[in-house]
Amino acid sequence: MSAPFYVSPEQLMKDRADYARKGIARGRSNVVLQYQDGILFVAENTSKALHKISEVYDRIAFAAVGRYNEFENLRVAGVRLADLTGYTYDRRDVTGRTIANAYAQTLGAIFSGAGEKPYEVEIVVAEVGDTADGDTIYRLTYDGSVAEEHDYVAMGGQAEHITGVLRERYEPGASLAAALHLAVSALSQQPDGETRDLVADQLEVATLDRTRERRAFRRFVGAQLTALLAQGAGAQ
């Protein structure tokens, strides 16, 4: 009888991590950053139906890169958890940290389990506060790791390069138009120095706006997005 094939736990985890990272890197990038009145989400996305940015609850939103069917399952689970918690207890009991912790447990269990492949996703859960100091941005990776980010975060594709651009040019308290211009500029720049032209039809843009009553999430499309892009470009 032949001996069973053996793979060390360290090698198995490394192979699963490499598999997930390669899948995420193939996706187009997302940028999430704070601006004067809240949190801005910008994704390179040509689809009008398959969103990479979505509302989760009154003041909480979700952004993701990777396999759509996998992060869509997570998004739906987060919405259900938020609705159940708010209905059972109080709407104020629904927080970004609660949603992020639930996602972390799910992703961690899937990554460490031998029965299925790891999810090829990276997620941001953001919650807007009454002031900029109350804003929270949580970044979750394929293995369930959670990090609280400040000011900005980039995911997928050329995330490392985009983060470098944001590090050099980000200014706290920028207007919405200026923040959008910075995000689009960062997404447009390639590591080889080339710059692409990204227009409204290639972008998915939304905000968590602290000045809105109760439901802070707002999506920008069509002529409204085009005008905002022009305003940001004109302000530079």
Give the model's pLDDT for residue 76.
96
Distance between alpha carbon 20 and the CA centroid of its chain, in Å?
A: 16
Q: Is the pLDDT of residue 1 over 60?
A: no
pLDDT at 152 over 80: yes
Domain presence at residue 30:
yes
120, pLDDT greater than 70: yes
CA-to-CA distance for 100 and 123, rounded, in angstroms? 9
Whether residue 192 has pLDDT greater than 80: no
Average pLDDT, the chain: 91
Pairing of strands 60-66, 203-209: unpaired
Q: Is residue 37 part of a domain?
A: yes
CA–CA distance, 25 with 8 (Å, rounded to integer): 26
Instruction: Confirm whether 128 is domain-assigned.
Output: yes
User: 133-150 pLDDT, tens per residue?
Assistant: 999 999 999 999 999 999
* Burial category of 76 from C-beta neighbours within 10 Å (exposed 0-12, middle 13-18, buried 19 and up): exposed
The CATH number of the domain holding residue 142 is: 3.60.20.10
Helix axes 222-234, 176-188, angle to 10 degrees: 90
Q: Is 91 within the bounds of a domain?
A: yes
Is the predicted pLDDT of residue 4 greater than 70, yes or no?
Answer: no
- Quick: pLDDT tens for 16-67: 889 899 989 888 899 999 999 999 999 999 898 999 999 999 999 999 999 9
pLDDT at 158: 86
**pLDDT higher than 90, residue 129:** yes
- The predicted structure's pLDDT at residue 148: 96
Residue 94 resides in a domain: yes
Residue 183 located in a structural domain? yes
Residue 6 has pLDDT above 90, yes or no: no
Beta carbons within 8 Å of 167's beta carbon, 6+ residues apart = none
pLDDT tens track for 58-92: 999 999 999 999 999 999 999 999 999 999 999 99
Does residue 191 register a pLDDT over 80?
A: no
Q: How high is the pLDDT of residue 220? A: 95
Domain membership flag for residue 51: yes
Q: State which residues form the domain around 96.
A: 23-234
Give the strands of the sheet with 152-155, arranged side by side: 152-155, 30-35, 38-44, 203-209, 217-220
- Read off the pLDDT of each residue in 208-224 and give the average, rounded to a whole number: 93
pTM (two decimals): 0.92
Residue 14 inside a domain? The answer is no
- 199: burial class by Cβ within 10 Å (0-12, 13-18, 19+)? exposed
pLDDT band at 197 (very low <50, low <70, confident <90, very high): confident
Whole-number Å distance between alpha carbons of 119 and 108? 10
* Mean pLDDT computed over 198-205: 93
Q: What's residue 114's pLDDT?
A: 66
Give the pLDDT mean for 91-100.
94
Rounded Cα–Cα distance for residues 218 and 125 (Å): 15
Q: How far apart are CA 53 and CA 8, in angstroms?
A: 38
| Number of domains comprising the chain | 1
